[in-house]
Every structure is written in C-alpha cells, then in structure tokens.
C-alpha cells in the first residue's frame, strides 16, 4: 500500500510540474508576472552534452541520438523519468543508475519520423532528485530535424 501511495504522489507531482512547464513555455506566464532568476545550483546542476541535437535534413524513418548527462552537484542524483514532447513517436532509454558527483551517463533516444514533414522539434524533459530528497528538478534536451518528404515504412 505504501508503494502505491508513493507512485500516486510521484505521478501527481509529475502532472503538476509538466502542467506548469507547458503553461510557462506556451503561454508565457511567470510567477508575479516576471521571469524568475534561477539559483546557481539549478542552472549548474546537470550539464547536457550537447544540449541541442540538430539532425539537419533527414529522410530516414527513425533518427536516434545520444546525449551525455553530467552531474555537477556535490551530491548523487537519481534520474526519475524522461518525458518526450512527442510521446507516441519518441522512445527513451533512461539509465537506471544513480549519477555520482562529477560522473556522466548516456541518455539514448529514438524518434519515429513516419508521416512527418517540415520542421520537426522534439524536447525531452528529464526529472531527477538528489539522493534521499523529495524535490524534483528538470532539464531539457531539444532535437531539431527538417523532413523534406514524409518517410514511410
């Protein structure tokens, strides 16, 4: 029963965080009407290398990429989940391991381009916590591609 309650709390937190992120991104709403300064820790906690993957012009049905995630904190972090903006077309291999301070892990993803044309942008929001902490932080990986004709399988 305790695990079920933790799962429910986690998914409620995930829902609230994603809802807030989408409102901020698409509507431009900021607390108190002004953009907020991020703390140095929030800005420098995880480095994504590269932060943007531009696939250029593609004709493949599937594109895949890998980014390195570097823990810049003095504490171990735990990756909780990764949510792509296109949940039906992007698969993510989320490392199931703690990331020690100064360590790095690879995040691998694949995006199905079937039926897509023009500029395709996809983002992946990754949620993590400090080991033993309940506060969830996020970072984003952005992918860009230009599809000239809709690939088919």
Q: How many domains does the chain have?
A: 2
23: domain range? 1-36
Distance between CA atoms of 77 and 130, rounded to whole angstroms?
A: 4
In a domain, 44, yes or no: yes
Task: Please give the chain's pLDDT, 153 residues, in tens.
Answer: 555 545 555 554 455 445 444 444 433 333 444 433 444 444 568 888 988 889 899 888 899 999 999 999 999 998 888 889 998 999 999 888 889 999 999 999 999 988 888 888 888 888 888 877 766 777 788 888 888 765 565
Residues 98/131, Cβ–Cβ less than 8 Å: yes
Distance between CA atoms of 119 and 3, rounded to whole angstroms?
A: 42
In a domain, 153, yes or no: no
Give the pTM: 0.65
């Amino acid at each position: 029963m305790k695990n079920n309650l933790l799962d429910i709390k986690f998914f409620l937190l995930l829902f609230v965080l994603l809802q807030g992120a989408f409102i901020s991104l698409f509507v431009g709403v900021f607390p108190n009407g002004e953009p907020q300064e991020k703390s140095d820790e929030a800005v420098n906690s995880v480095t994504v290398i590269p932060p943007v993957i531009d696939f250029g012009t593609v004709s493949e049905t599937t594109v895949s990429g890998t980014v390195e995630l570097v823990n810049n904190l003095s504490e171990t972090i735990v990756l909780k989940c990764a949510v792509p903006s296109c949940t039906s077309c992007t698969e993510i291999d989320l490392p199931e391991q703690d990331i020690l301070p100064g360590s790095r892990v690879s995040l691998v993803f694949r995006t199905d381009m079937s039926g897509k044309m023009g500029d395709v942008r996809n983002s992946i929001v990754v949620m993590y916590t400090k080991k033993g902490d309940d506060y969830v932080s996020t970072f984003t990986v952005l992918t860009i591609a230009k599809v000239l004709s809709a690939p088919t399988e």
